[in-house]
Structure 1
C-alpha cells in the first residue's frame, strides 16, 4: 500500500481500481436497477449521478441513451471514471451544495446521501436537487436504512472480515460498526492489511442514520412527493434485484430505496411528467 494512501487514510477512495476490485459489479446491477427505475417512473433523459464514484453506474446510464453528468468530490475517482468509464461528463462537486445544470433526474447511490451528517448538510443536498431538477423531475437514492438499527445489533456485534487478491497482492479488511446515538451516525472503522509488507491502514467514516419517516419529512419540506420508499429488492439487497422485479412496500431491512418527484408548481407544465408504476 503506497505512501499516498497512508497519508489520506482512505485506501479505497484514493485507489478507484482497488475499490472496484473490492466491490465488483460485473452484472452492473446498480446501473440496471437505476435505469429500470428511471424508466418505470417515466424520467426524462438528462441525469445527474451525484456521488458517482468510479463512474460505473453513470457510464451504464449513458450507454442506455441518457445524457449523464457524473459528479464526485474525489479527484482520483473522477480521473479514473474519465479514463475507464467514458461517455458521461464528469465534474467535481460536493453533494451538500452543487449547481451543475438542469436535469430530469438526480441519482444518488451507495449511501452517498448519508454523508450529509447534519440537518444543514441534508438541507443543502435537497435544496441543490430542487434547484437542479426540472418540474416533475425525479430524485432517486439507495442507502442504508437507519430504522434497521432500532433494536437490532447483528451488524454491530461482530467485526466483519473480508479478503481478496488484486494484482497478485492479498488484501484483508476488518470492519467495525457502532451507532453514535448523540450524532445519529453509524460510525465505521476499517483496518486494512496486505501481504506486501505495508503497515496497516485504518480508515474511519460515518453515515447519517435516517429513519424513513424523517426522510419523508425532509423531502416534503423541500417540495418533493415520495413515490416509493422501500427496503428491497435493490442492487445491494439479499436477494438482489432482478430484471422485472417491482418496488417493495416495507422499509424494515438494512437498505432503503427512495424515489421522489419534485412537485410541479401550479400553472407550470413539466417537460416529462413521471408516472406512478402499476402494481
Structure 2
C-alpha cells in the first residue's frame, strides 16, 4: 500500500469526487459578501481547484486564490482562469507576496478573506490559528470581512454517528473505477478530527492510503479567537450553507443555532 493524497495530487479527480455544478459554495460566499457590502478585492484562502475563486471573479470581484498545493494551483490556472493564483500557507502568509490582481505586492488591500470547505481547520494548534488570523488582519482593509465555512466541533459532543465506521464511495474517472473507504475518529488530546481514507482502483494499481486531520473548533472558541484578533462576529451558525442538508438556496437567511455538522462565520475587522 502506498501513501499519498490521491485527490489533491489529481485535482480533476477531486472535482469528480466532490462536484459542485451549481457553484453553491461560491454563491453562498458571494451572498455573504453582498449582504455586508464588501468591496471587490477578495482573497480565497485554501482555494483548491479554483472553482469558488473563479465564481467570485465572474461576479465582478478582483480575486487572488491561494493554496499550498502546486497541483491544485496549476489546475486552477488552467481550468478556472480569471483570478490570480499564488502559493501560500494559510497558517502564516505574507500580504506583500499576495497582493491583488491589480496591485500585486501591496499589503492591507483585501476587502474580504474567504476560507471555505474546512480549510481553516488545517490550523491544528492555537499558534496556527493565531497565525492565520494575524495574517488575515494584516491583509484586510479596516472593516474588511472574513467569511469561513467548516465542520463544527460542537456536533461531536456526545455524537458518534459519523465516527469509527468506514463510509464507502465509488466513482469512475478516466475509465478507471475507484472506491474509497473513509473513517473518521476523534483525537481528543490534540482536539483533532482525524480522517483515514483508503483508495482502491480496478486498474491493478496498489491501494493508496491517505491521512489528514481538522481542528475541532467549538463555536464559542472560534468567537473568542476572532474577538482576540480584532474581529466582530456578525454571523455564527450551523446553516443553511453550501454543504448542509438541505443546502443553502438564494434568499435563505442565516440561522441562529450552532449544533449541526457545519459551521459558518462572517466577521468584520475593526475599523
TM-score, normalization: structure 1? 0.91
- Name the counterpart of 2:69: 74
What aligned pairs does 1:84-103 form with structure 2 within 5 A after superposition?
84-99=79-94, 100-101=98-99, 102-103=109-110
Structure 2 residue 183 is the aligned partner of structure 1 residue 176 = yes
Instruction: Give the C-alpha shift of residue 41 in structure 1.
Output: 1.1
4+ residue runs of structure 1 moved beyond 3 angstroms? none
**1:29 maps to which of 24, 38, 47:** 24
Q: In structure 2, list runs of 5 or more residues that go unmatched.
A: 100-108
- Name the counterpart of 1:118: 125
Instruction: Give the C-alpha shift of residue 13 in structure 1.
Output: 0.6
CA RMSD across the alignment: 1.0
Q: In structure 1, list runs of 5 or more residues that go unmatched.
A: 265-279
TM-score, normalization: structure 2? 0.94
Q: How many aligned positions are there?
A: 259
Instruction: Give the C-alpha shift of residue 158 in structure 1.
Output: 2.1
Deviations 1:32-82 (A, max 9, x none): 111111101111100000000000000000000000000000000000000
Cα distance between partner residues in 2 of 1:176 and 1:156: 7
- Name the counterpart of 1:276: none
Deviations 1:187-219 (A, max 9, x none): 000000011111110000000000000001100
**2:213 maps to which of 206, 215, 225:** 206
Cα distance between partner residues in 2 of 1:263 and 1:159: 44
Deviations 1:240-274 (A, max 9, x none): 0011111111000000001000011xxxxxxxxxx
